[in-house]
């Protein structure tokens, strides 16, 4: 979602650092961008549209100064306009602020400030922050105290950064929205996510809720809510900046689809022993789970969690899966005996973090299954298991979904105390089988055939059901066409009314006890004139009953659906490509959803 970048150091680098940082945050999804640079006065430039639009509006000689902040906005309060873009300033342009999150009490704060004579120029909740700082300055508070006073009045989630004229200090604070600080040889950085400054430094400090940071070219000072100085822990980021490049592919999404064999190998590295038939996850060595398991997740991660819950139930472990956004609303029974697993690619998803925090409050054991080292989920949960997929820039999750599935398969094996050479052999074979699908897939031709359809249905049973949901989500995310996924048996309970000759059905028919029933559902849609594309490891049994086949290797009931998903990712990509969509940055969507 919204992105923040900040820098203080060499004045001639401020302009370049801010623009590089904004470019590094474009993957998060946004609809406007802006920067503020502090010198003798504040210089603010902001535009609706892409970072390139902002860059074109900047002076040709650049905008340098003592310190600077930048922002990419994903609209919540007010549409994407120049006025609503960040940064925002107070009445006299004596402070500039950028903000991620939602200020829940902004309406009351704004009414009070307007009554005091403050003039607002935007529709955003963010604009109350610079005016709160201005009010504190008018009462005689210096910048740090004014910034702290404003932050203490906010309710909701926020990551905030501010700069003042004639100052080289950047002030920052967070509550339930991520901020990370970067320590460089030529100054200091802050951002909502590491890719914003990974070109400049790999040394980072993760700001915690309630902490306030002041960065200058030579110092980093962190204080707690009472103003006491905190000694930070400095971590190193293992990502190479080149890992986030396109490597010759037209889109990040296509590159990341093709990175899945390597991502799965990295996920498995050091965790499986074919000789002993065991899975060992060192970071979970002290995990003691004897009670039920609850998964909480959103979007693609929720589909992976559905897969994980089925894996556990098959092994006799009670497991349920919940949409994180509904977890608190539904008052789910959870106790100290429950293991609550938050599946979140970024480790910052607001709804998932809310569910995990609720579980922590009642004393449940919490486990984060995430891709990002040092993320909020990784730091706040009792345990963490990293999926090790590497940086994923495309908004539509691809390699992280496959890595989540494999990580969940290993987690299920560990929780069940399983010892199975067959299981280890199956999972170790996956990277080569995925590569085979990538090398041989006819998905582009299938996409060309059906790119002009009115809508698309995806059906599957058992372990294929979550993959059907994910296949539909991936297509609707990047092609903007209507797509729905169903457990195959549900077609006749309503959705069949929508089936026509212009609604192709992608049927996941893989070897196992449910294949015959899914073929029965295929007959139902064919009888209504719908074309059918089968994703299958049994083409000889299925081919005569469908219009097109996307073949995958046979990997057993648990793992063949992972291979089937690769075909559906490719179909989604090539349909979106055929339609000329913005594949890496689909409209209205964000990579990391950090608001409720």
pLDDT at residue 592 in the model: 56
Using 50, 70 and 90 to split pLDDT, how confident is the model at 278?
confident
Using 50, 70 and 90 to split pLDDT, how confident is the model at 1?
low
pLDDT at residue 589 in the model: 76
Distances (CA, A) of 494 to 248, 448, 487: 45, 29, 12
Residue-wise pLDDT for 368-405, tens only, equals 999 988 888 999 999 999 999 988 888 899 999 999 99
- Per-residue pLDDT, averaged over 198-213, amounts to 92
Task: Let me know whether 506 and 370 are in one domain.
Answer: no
Lowest-pLDDT choice from 235-244, 280-289, 303-312, 543-552:
235-244
Task: Let me know whether 162 and 252 are in one domain.
Answer: no
Using 50, 70 and 90 to split pLDDT, how confident is the model at 243?
low
Percent of the chain with pLDDT over 90: 70
Task: Let me know whether 216 and 312 are in one domain.
Answer: no
Q: Output the domain CATH number for residue 257.
A: 3.40.50.10490
Last residue of some domain: 409, 438, 467? Answer: 438
pLDDT at residue 28 in the model: 65
Task: Let me know whether 209 and 349 are in one domain.
Answer: no
d(CA 321, CA 294): 6
Last residue of some domain: 237, 265, 296? Answer: 237
Using 50, 70 and 90 to split pLDDT, how confident is the model at 195?
confident
Using 50, 70 and 90 to split pLDDT, how confident is the model at 445?
very high
From 441, 4, 361, 407, select the one nearest 179 (Cα to Cα). 4
Please state the domain count of the chain.
Answer: 3
Sign of CA dihedral 422, 428, 430, 432: negative
Task: Let me know whether 317 and 354 are in one domain.
Answer: yes
Res 77 pLDDT > 90: no
Residue-wise pLDDT for 459-486, tens only, equals 999 999 999 999 999 999 999 999 999 9
Q: Which residues are catalytic?
A: 2, 591
- Per-residue pLDDT, averaged over 55-71, amounts to 90
Ramachandran sector of residue 438 (left: φ over 0; alpha: ψ -120 to 50; beta: rest): alpha
Q: Domain range holding 152?
A: 3-237
Average pLDDT, the chain: 91
pLDDT at residue 584 in the model: 87
d(CA 468, CA 571): 13
- Per-residue pLDDT, averaged over 62-86, amounts to 88
User: Got the DSSP string for 306-342?
Assistant: HHHHHHHHHTT--EEEEEHHHHTTTT----TT-EEEE
Burial classification of residue 88, based on how many CB atoms lie within 10 Å of its CB (0-12 exposed, 13-18 middle, 19 or more buried)? buried
Task: Let me know whether 434 and 448 are in one domain.
Answer: no
Tokens 């700082």, residue located: 133
CB atoms inside a 10 Å sphere around CB 440: 12
Lowest-pLDDT choice from 32-36, 53-57, 287-291, 307-311:
287-291
Q: Where are the beta strands (DSSP E) in 207-297?
A: 212-215, 220-223, 229-230, 235-236, 272-273, 278-279, 293-297
Task: Let me know whether 139 and 198 are in one domain.
Answer: yes
pLDDT at residue 513 in the model: 73
**β-strand pairing of 365-370 with 339-344:** parallel
Last residue of some domain: 187, 204, 237? Answer: 237
Task: Let me know whether 232 and 282 are in one domain.
Answer: no
Using 50, 70 and 90 to split pLDDT, how confident is the model at 101?
confident
Q: Are 423 and 413 in contact (CB under 8 A)?
A: yes
pLDDT at residue 144 in the model: 96
- Per-residue pLDDT, averaged over 160-172, amounts to 97
CB atoms inside a 10 Å sphere around CB 290: 8
Task: Let me know whether 155 and 294 are in one domain.
Answer: no
pLDDT at residue 485 in the model: 95
Distances (CA, A) of 261 to 277, 387, 563: 21, 13, 11
Residue-wise pLDDT for 554-584, tens only, equals 999 999 999 999 999 999 999 999 999 999 8
Higher pLDDT, 368 or 420: 368
Task: Let me know whether 50 and 177 are in one domain.
Answer: yes
pLDDT at residue 162 in the model: 98
Task: Let me know whether 218 and 254 are in one domain.
Answer: no
pTM: 0.77
Q: Which two structure tokens, joined as six digits, stand for 412?
A: 């299920």
Higher pLDDT, 3 or 298: 298
Q: Output the domain CATH number for residue 143.
A: 3.60.20.10
Using 50, 70 and 90 to split pLDDT, how confident is the model at 240?
low
Task: Let me know whether 368 and 460 are in one domain.
Answer: no
């Amino acid at each position: 979602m919204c992105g923040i970048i900040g820098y203080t150091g060499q004045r001639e680098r401020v302009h370049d650092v801010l623009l590089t940082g904004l470019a590094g945050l474009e993957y998060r999804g946004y609809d406007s961008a802006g920067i503020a640079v502090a010198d003798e006065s504040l210089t603010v430039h902001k535009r609706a549209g892409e970072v390139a639009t902002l860059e074109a509006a900047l002076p040709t000689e650049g905008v340098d100064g003592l310190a600077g902040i930048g922002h990419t906005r994903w609209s919540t309060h007010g549409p994407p306009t120049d006025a609503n873009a960040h940064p925002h300033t107070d009445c006299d342009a004596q402070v500039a602020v950028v903000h991620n999150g939602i200020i829940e009490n902004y309406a009351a704060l704004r009414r009070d400030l307007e009554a005091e004579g403050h003039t607002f120029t935007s529709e955003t909740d963010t604009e109350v922050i610079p005016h709160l700082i201005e009010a504190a300055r008018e009462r005689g508070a210096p910048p740090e105290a004014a910034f702290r006073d404003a932050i203490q009045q906010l309710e909701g989630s926020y990551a905030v950064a501010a700069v003042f004229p004639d100052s080289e200090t950047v002030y920052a604070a967070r509550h339930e929205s991520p901020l990370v600080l970067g320590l460089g040889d030529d100054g200091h950085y802050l951002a909502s996510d590491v890719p914003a400054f990974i070109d400049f430094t790999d040394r980072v400090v993760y700001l915690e809720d309630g902490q306030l940071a002041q960065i200058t070219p030579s110092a980093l000072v962190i204080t707690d809510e009472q103003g006491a100085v905190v000694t930070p822990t400095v971590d190193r980021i293992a990502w190479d900046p080149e890992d986030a490049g396109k490597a010759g592919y037209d889109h990040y999404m296509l590159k990341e689809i093709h990175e899945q064999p390597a991502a799965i190998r990295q996920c498995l590295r050091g965790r499986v022993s074919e000789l002993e038939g065991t899975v060992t996850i060192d970071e979970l060595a002290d995990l003691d789970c004897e009670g039920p398991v609850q998964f909480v997740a959103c979007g693609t991660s929720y589909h992976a969690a559905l897969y994980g819950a089925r894996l556990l139930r098959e092994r006799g472990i009670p497991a349920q899966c919940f949409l994180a956004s509904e977890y608190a609303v539904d008052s789910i029974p959870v106790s100290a005996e429950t293991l609550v697993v938050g599946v979140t690619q970024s480790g910052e998803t607001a709804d998932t973090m809310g569910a995990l925090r609720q579980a922590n409050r009642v004393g449940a054991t919490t486990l984060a299954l995430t891709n990002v080292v040092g993320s909020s989920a990784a730091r706040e949960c009792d345990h963490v298991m990293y999926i090790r997929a590497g940086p994923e820039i495309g908004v539509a999750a691809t390699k992280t979904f496959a890595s989540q599935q494999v990580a969940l398969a290993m987690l299920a094996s560990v929780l069940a105390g399983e010892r199975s050479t067959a299981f280890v052999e199956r999972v170790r074979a996956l990277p080569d089988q995925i590569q085979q699908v990538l090398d041989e897939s006819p998905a582009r031709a299938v996409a060309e055939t059906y790119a002009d359809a009115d809508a698309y249905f995806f059906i599957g049973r058992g372990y294929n059901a979550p993959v059907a949901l994910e296949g539909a989500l991936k297509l609707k995310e990047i092609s903007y066409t209507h797509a729905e996924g169903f457990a195959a048996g549900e077609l006749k309970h309503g959705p069949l009314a929508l089936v026509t000759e212009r609604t192709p059905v992608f049927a996941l028919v893989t070897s196992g006890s449910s294949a015959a029933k899914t073929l029965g559902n295929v007959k139902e849609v064919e009888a209504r004139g719908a074309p059918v594309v089968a994703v299958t490891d049994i083409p000889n049994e299925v081919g005569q009953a469908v219009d097109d086949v996307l073949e995958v290797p046979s990997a057993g009931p648990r793992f063949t659906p992972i291979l089937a998903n690769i075909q559906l990712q490719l179909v989604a990509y090539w349909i979106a490509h055929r339609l000329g969509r913005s594949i890496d940055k689909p409209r209205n969507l964000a990579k990391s959803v950090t608001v409720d």
